[in-house]
Amino acid sequence: MIKEVNKMRTKITIVSLILFVIAAYSFTFAEYAHKAGAFKYVGVQTCVGACHKTDAQGKQLDIWQSSKHANAFKTLQTPEADKIAKDKGFTTPAAETPQCLKCHTTGKDIDQSEFESTFNIQDGVQCETCHGPGSEYKKLSIMKDIEKAKENGLIVHTEKEAFCTSCHNSESPTFKSFNYEEMWSKIAHKKP
């Protein structure tokens, strides 16, 4: 009888260990997959294809198009931006200067293999700048379940102000001030 109890305990321990390993793997897969490039950037036009532009979805497309984020890359293609870059000691045009690109577009430090053919860096600061690469969460069946979307790469910031001020800060040569509450109200959207 004691032998049978010990065998049962051993089996329960092994099954528990296997379940623990599976659970640990599933919790870390999304992070690993992003680091491994499993999630790809699809671009704003894919994000708003059938979704994110209606009243029911929060009209994110309209909000983005009327924001300065939509034109962030275009501002780097101006003579004024080139002058600022030159005055800061850069030898490349602003639209080619990494220190400018880091906040004026999505993708400056991202390997090109992580972009789908639909992604256009010239679309500036777009959905995936904040919400992460959308190739795996873009499907409606996934987006309907926020937790499933997060498992598939969606980022929903809990510290929005800290994220925004990673670009909107005194490192920018044109920085004057940044009132987070005021600026967030211009781009706020309740649905990712």
What domain range includes position 79?
39-187
Domain total in the chain: 2
Residue 87 placed within a domain: yes
Q: Mean pLDDT for the chain? A: 82
Say how many C-beta atoms besides its own lie within 10 A of residue 116's C-beta.
Answer: 14
Q: Does residue 159 sit in the same domain as residue 176?
A: yes
- The proportion of the chain whose per-residue pLDDT surpasses 70, expressed as a percent, equals 79
- 96 vs 17, residue with greater confidence: 96
Burial code (b: 16+ CB inside 10 Å, e: under 16) for 176-188 equals: eeeeeeeeeeebe
Q: Does residue 108 sit in the same domain as residue 158?
A: yes
Gyration radius from the chain CA atoms: 22
86-99: pLDDT as tens digits = 999 999 999 999 99
Q: Does residue 30 sit in the same domain as residue 54?
A: no
Q: Does residue 32 sit in the same domain as residue 51?
A: no
130-154: pLDDT as tens digits = 999 999 998 888 988 999 999 999 9
Confidence of residue 25 (pLDDT cuts 50, 70, 90): very low
